[in-house]
Structures are given as structure tokens and as C-alpha cells.
Amino acid sequence: MIRPYNEARRLSGNLQATRLLTLDGESVRLRTVRNCPVCASGKTRSYGQVEIELERTPIVLNYDECNSCGTAFQNPTLTRTARRLLYDANYMKAYGSDRVNLSDPNEQIWRSILSDNRFQALLGIMPSLPKTYLDVGFGFGTSLETAALYGIHASGIEVSSSAWQNAQQRGLNVFNGEMASALREGFIKPGSIDFITAWDVVEHYDDLSRELGLLREALRPKGMLYLHTPDFSTEDTENKHRYFSLDHRLLFSRNSLRNLLEANGFTVLQCVPSQQIGDPRQDIHPSILSDPRFPDAREYVMKKSPMLIDGHWHIGLLATTPSGQS
Ligand SMILES: [Zn+2]
């Protein structure tokens, strides 16, 4: 049984935010953020705090909210060094949101179906079928396998070395590192990618403007970018803080994400709750339906799909790069 993506967390106030952590045996000091990391506005206010446990030690995370653009941001926040330690070899096992048994065939096939549903929906609103696809932060790498079902040449980058190793052993075309090194080292050629996705990735970045510049560099003219990230502009004000976690630095509002994309040269085609990018109960790819590991695929997706609808507030944003520019 898969439990809900994240249980709603209790909000506290007036606690002393944790400023010093131990990650992989190293002491890490969190740094204070002065202005909104998305729009640079100084008009911010305290939103709330959550208590979490890290290696059996309770820590308090504080989040502020920007009055100008509506983004929530971790403050104090992890440094770049801390982030590297967090995504080390143990990330998937210890800190990831995916604390599930990835070797369970049921889990794998569920992920295949979910990934296929998402792919079909996205391909359905694109002007043409992409030939080259890049998944940034591919995690388990199901998206890369799904793309291959549609004859799309798929590659992925991932900062977690354990996730990279796992995908590489399965024969996927993957790179261990950040976008900047993938471009620098020639894993990705500038202007070569038709379609990029980043599922649950942008909330982790230190400098999203810089990363968006790199994604634009990788995309061909009129290339497509799909971002999927928690939605802090959800109307569920009681539970909108449920995605506060150690590795989530930014929680975007639909407006703040749209504005940031446009400020970085993208044209936003859609920015909606992610559930509105297609119905998750669409046709399932025949090769998934005929997978002997999972004879009840169709029943399973009908049963699991409400999980994607209820209390799973994410932004689904599809954007494109200008024509004649790489
Ligand atoms: Zn802001």
C-alpha cells in the first residue's frame, strides 16, 4: 500500500529554527536569506515552521512567504555544500520523498503507468512528437523507459549517484551530475533537445534562473519544457505547507513560476494544477498492459488515480523556447 505523497505536517510558530546540521558526519551551517530568492523583493513575512526528524534528531525548518510573488522559501536555508551532502549515495534511501520499495514489481509497474499517463497527456498537447528527450532529476528513471515506448531518444541527468548507478545498470542513457556539467562535458549538446521534463525538481534549486538558462541552452528553438512542482498557490490553505521538507528550498505559486520562466526567455503555454494536464485514467500503453508482471494494470490505475487528484497539489507548467534561438 502506497501512503499519500506526504502527510500534512503540523505547523508551529516561534520555535528556534535549526541553523546547524550534521549531514554524513559533516557539520553544516544553514544560511540566512535576506530577500525573496525568486523575485528579490524585500517584502517577506514569516509563514510558519515544521518539525522534522533527521537521523533521529529533531530539526525545525522555518519558511517565509514573499508578499510580492507568493513564493514560500526556506529561511535559513541549506548551502550548496549541504545540498551536495544531502544528495549523496544515501539520498534515495534516507531522505528522498520516495521511501518505498523500488524493487517491488508492483511499485515499478505503478510508476510505469503513472509515467505513461503523464507522457500521453503531454504528448497530446504538443505540436509534434519529440525526437529527443531529457529528464532532469530522473530519480528512478521510469520516465526514460516510458519515452522509449514512444520511440523517443531519452537521456537523463541526476545528482544522486545511487539513482544514477541504478539507472545505468538498467542500460539507460544517464549522467551523474548537474546540468552545467552535463553541457560542459558534452553529455548534452546545446540546442539538441526537443523536450525536457523536471518532475519535482525546481523546488530543490539554489538558483533557478541559472538552471533555466542552462535548460534553454540545451533545448532547440521551439523546444518544450515541462515543470512539475508543489503548488503553494493551492486554495487548500490549511495544508499548503505540507511540502515543507529539508530539501525543498522553494515552493512556488503559479504566478511566481510563470513569471520566472518568462523572465528567463520562455513562453508559458499552460500553467495549471498538474491534474489538468490530461486525465490520469487515459489509455495505458499496450506494452504496459501486456506486461506479465502486472496482469491487473487497468484496475490498478483506476484504483490509484484518485491519489493523483486528491490532495496532490502540484503545478504543471508547459513552456517553450523562442524560434530561431538555441
Ligand atoms: Zn518574491
- Report CA(78)–ligand 1 centroid distance (Å): 19
* pLDDT, tens only, 179-213: 999 999 999 999 999 999 999 999 998 788 999 99
- Report CA(164)–ligand 1 centroid distance (Å): 33
Q: pLDDT at position 129, please? A: 94
Q: Which CATH topology does 105-320 take?
A: Rossmann fold (3.40.50)
Q: pLDDT at position 101, please? A: 64
- Report CA(46)–ligand 1 centroid distance (Å): 13
Q: pLDDT at position 19, please? A: 93
* pLDDT, tens only, 263-273: 999 999 999 88
In terms of Cβ atoms closer than 10 Å to its own Cβ (0-12, 13-18, 19+), residue 123 is middle
- Report CA(266)–ligand 1 centroid distance (Å): 19
- Report CA(40)–ligand 1 centroid distance (Å): 6
In terms of Cβ atoms closer than 10 Å to its own Cβ (0-12, 13-18, 19+), residue 276 is exposed
CA distance 232 to 239: 10
DSSP 49: E
Q: pLDDT at position 157, please? A: 97
**Which is nearest to 275 in space by CA: 113, 72, 114?**
114
* pLDDT, tens only, 121-140: 899 889 899 999 999 999 88
Asked if the bond preceding 76 is cis, omega within 30° of 0, the reply is: yes
Who has greater pLDDT, 298 or 77?
77
CA distance 185 to 225: 22
- Report CA(50)–ligand 1 centroid distance (Å): 21
- Report CA(251)–ligand 1 centroid distance (Å): 11
Task: Name residues with Cβ closer than 5 Å to ligand 1, which is an ion.
Answer: 36, 38-39, 41, 66, 68-69
pTM for the predicted model, two decimal places: 0.90
Q: pLDDT at position 326, please? A: 43
* pLDDT, tens only, 163-178: 899 899 999 999 999 9
Q: Do 153 and 134 meet the contact criterion of CB atoms below 8 Å apart? A: no
- Report CA(254)–ligand 1 centroid distance (Å): 12
- Report CA(263)–ligand 1 centroid distance (Å): 13
Average pLDDT over residues 19-47: 91
Residue 306 binned pLDDT confidence (cut-offs 50, 70, 90): confident
Domain-wise residue ranges, the chain: 20-94, 105-320
- Report CA(178)–ligand 1 centroid distance (Å): 25
Q: Which residues contact 55 (CB under 8 A, 6 or more apart)?
A: 22, 94
